[in-house]
């Protein structure tokens, strides 16, 4: 019975990661109607409203220091991360390649944690080798986009910025996660993410096209991103972590770009060149090697 129960959580983990992989596709669809900052604002506004169902008792954290840390996390893991990711998709028009680069986030997080001498982290042989292999794969993907298909390298650079900001976000909430519930932290991140994206909306000056919300393609993808990918997957991911453990559950995230790639081919008509496929495979191999034990 215990083994069957574990398999159910494995299947659930894969399903959640599949949804997260398809969020790149939904964002690509919405970029035809909204700007990157607007997509983030709409998604997080709905998710933040729904998050109050899970966490509504405490408005602020216990100290000013914790509140500042949560605000920084809202920028790194919210507004800056998604603005960079969404803009990368807008510039490159390649959801699969961007997803593969963002997939290196656990690797970047490990390197950053080691560099900052965080407790329980150290540079291991697999981490060093995996880092080199993953960087080689990213270079191949970028070379493919800039030379053979004429896609601006800036899109891939933004994807790496997104990967770095999420790594910083992970470090920021590493200590504070022991003091507060996940729902409270997520709600605060949503709030500060929304608050800090407002200046970008004002500077860009683009108005929301209200008529676009009546288009089936628009409101279905908005609901998918905000309700399914954010609220739904968050609620389901917590018991997955408790059952499978943080290490095993995190390893499933490496499947994220695989679902993105197949989704992009089927739904967006993306064409993967040989060099792009090889580079993506090398990147995944590097990330997998870095996750191995010494």
- The residues, any chain, with a CB within 8 Å of residue 225's CB and separated by 6 or more, are 23, 26, 27, 30, 39, 43
Structure tokens of 111?
């390197």
d(CA 198, CA 37): 9
pLDDT tens, residue by residue, 209-249 = 888 888 999 999 999 999 898 878 876 776 776 677 655 66
Predicted local distance difference test score (pLDDT) of residue 241: 67
Read off the pTM. 0.78
pLDDT tens, residue by residue, 240-271 = 766 776 556 666 776 777 788 778 778 877 77
Predicted local distance difference test score (pLDDT) of residue 147: 43
Predicted local distance difference test score (pLDDT) of residue 275: 75
d(CA 226, CA 19): 12
Domain range summary for the chain, segments of one domain joined by +: 2-290
pLDDT tens, residue by residue, 168-218 = 887 887 777 777 777 788 888 889 999 999 999 988 877 888 888 889 999
């Amino acid at each position: 019975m215990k083994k069957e129960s574990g398999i159910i959580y494995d299947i659930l983990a894969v399903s959640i990661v599949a949804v997260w992989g398809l969020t790149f596709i939904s964002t690509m669809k919405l970029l035809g109607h909204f700007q990157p900052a607007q997509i983030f604002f709409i998604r997080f506004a709905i998710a933040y409203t729904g998050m109050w169902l899970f966490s509504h008792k405490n408005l602020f954290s216990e100290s000013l220091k914790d509140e500042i840390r949560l605000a920084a996390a809202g920028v790194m893991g919210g507004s800056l991360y998604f603005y960079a990711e969404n803009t990368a998709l807008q510039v490159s028009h390649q959801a699969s390649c961007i997803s593969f680069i963002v997939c290196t986030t656990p690797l970047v997080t490990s390197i950053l944690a080691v560099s900052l001498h965080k407790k329980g982290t150290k540079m291991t042989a697999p981490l060093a080798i995996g880092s080199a292999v993953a960087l080689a794969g990213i270079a191949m993907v970028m070379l493919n986009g800039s030379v053979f298909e004429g896609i601006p390298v800036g899109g891939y650079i933004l994807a790496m910025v997104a990967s770095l900001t999420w790594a910083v976000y992970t470090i920021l909430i590493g200590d504070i996660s022991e003091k507060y519930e996940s729902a409270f932290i997520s709600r605060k991140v949503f709030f500060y993410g929304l608050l800090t994206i407002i200046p970008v909306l004002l500077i860009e000056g683009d108005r929301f096209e209200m008529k676009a919300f009546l288009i089936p393609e628009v409101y279905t993808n908005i609901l998918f991103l905000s309700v399914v990918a954010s609220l739904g997957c968050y609620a389901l991911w917590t018991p997955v972590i408790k059952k499978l453990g943080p290490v095993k559950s995190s390893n499933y995230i490496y499947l994220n770009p695989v679902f993105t790639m197949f989704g992009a081919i089927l739904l967006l008509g993306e064409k993967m060149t040989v060099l792009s496929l090889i580079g993506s495979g090398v990147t995944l191999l590097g990330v997998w090697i870095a996750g191995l034990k010494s």
